[in-house]
Structure 1
Amino acid sequence: MSKRDPEARRTAIITAAADLVVELGPERLTHRRVAERAGVPLGSTTQYFKSIDELRTRALERLAAEIDDDLEAVRESLATSNGSIDALVDDLHDYLRNHRNLAADVSLMSAAAFDADLRELSLRWQNNLIDILTAYVGPTNAHALAILADGVTIHAVQHDAPLPKATLRAIVVPFMGADSKPPTPNEMGPTR
């Protein structure tokens, strides 16, 4: 990367910061770590970002944009399947199996808990999911499903694995307006 391309350098710094947020958490982000990861001089991080808080915010914005891309894939999947429960469960399960998604989502939630300025950024995921699901289940059930998605995200982080698909399906079905046989205890998987 050339000094003559300040936008590429700035992008590399943000990308490195986002990667570190996912790996270490937002509170462990430092200018030194970001500079090392981005392969730039330490002074570059402070040249482009006046504080570590600003850099952390840009990293979280990058991660929120990645989540937006994942939600667009969910939107397309549901449109293709005409709002199929199985498509939603498959998409949710895939999301919960991706460590980067989980770390980004929880980092955004955590940041919002301590910084009101980041709350809107954190809520973007939930609001977009509600928007996507409303067309299939109405606004109340869409909101409930988005809250459930937050809960299963936290559960997946705490247990280092998503709930089994049968359990996710059992949780989702009541809000999708469809009947389903309850899963067996073996299908439910660990709940603690």
Structure 2
Amino acid sequence: MARHDPQARRAAIVQAAADLIVEVGPGRLTHRLVARRAQVPLGSTTAYFASLDELRQEGLGLLANEVDDGLAEIRREFESDETDGVDGVAAFEGLVDSLHEYVSLRRNVVADVALAATATFDDRARELALSWTDGLVAVLGEYIGVDNALAVAMITDGAGVHAAIRGEPLGRDQLRRALAPFVQTSGDPR
């Protein structure tokens, strides 16, 4: 990071806050930890952010953007399957693969749980936390209906909590069986 690049320094601080939220949790975030991780003077964290709460919100916002990137990938999968004439079975398997990959990455599930936990008590974080569920329902609702998409989102939320607590995701076959009742496909092997 350039020594006199305020935007790069601010970005490094926010990235450090996001990384630490995933590693130690939002409640244990401190200016000192963030400064050490970002390799900036301690005063920089307070110069760029009026409070630790503001810094935490920025870190959570960055994590929410990562969640949105995952949703964009799921949307691209469904849109490409639709334009390529892929049948419902292949689209369902693509969904299972995408969701399994998502819950297999510890950063993803810990970020989701941190967002949800913070949103439980902080209205400002609620919108960020809802971006995953609302986004997934919006993406899948077009293909499987809103009620089924909501069920898939709730199962995925549960799979994320499971992976975060246990340190390992559900197996791909377990996830497929959990989702199958909510995703109707032509030629469904169930």
With the length of structure 2 as denominator, give the TM-score of the two structures.
Answer: 0.91
Partner amino acid, structure 1, of 2:74: V
After superposition, residues 25-174 of structure 1 pair within 5 angstroms as 25-82=25-82, 84-174=91-181
- Counterparts of 2:189 and 2:153, CA distance in 1: 20
Partner amino acid, structure 2, of 1:54: E
8 Å contact from structure 1 (residues 20, 29) kept in 2: yes
- Counterparts of 2:73 and 2:184, CA distance in 1: 22
Residue 85 (structure 2) aligns with: none
- Counterparts of 2:73 and 2:174, CA distance in 1: 22
Q: Which runs of 4+ in 1 moved over 6 A?
A: none
Partner amino acid, structure 2, of 1:15: Q
State the Cα distance separating 1:3 from its structure 2 match: 4.2
State the Cα distance separating 1:92 from its structure 2 match: 0.7
Deviations 1:129-179 (A, max 9, x none): 001001110111111111111111111112211111111111111111144
Deviations 1:9-54 (A, max 9, x none): 1111001111111111111110000001111100000000011100
- Alignment coverage as a number of residue pairs: 181
Using the aligned pairs only, state the percent identity. Answer: 49
8 Å contact from structure 1 (residues 34, 45) kept in 2: yes
**5+ residue gaps in structure 1?**
182-192
Partner amino acid, structure 1, of 2:69: D
8 Å contact from structure 1 (residues 170, 180) kept in 2: no
Q: Which structure would you say has the larger RCO, counting Cα contacts within 8 Å and 6 or more residues apart?
A: 2
8 Å contact from structure 1 (residues 17, 55) kept in 2: yes
Q: Which sits farther off after the overlay, 46-55 or 83-92?
A: 83-92
Q: What is the root-mean-square deviation of aligned Cα atoms in Å?
A: 1.2
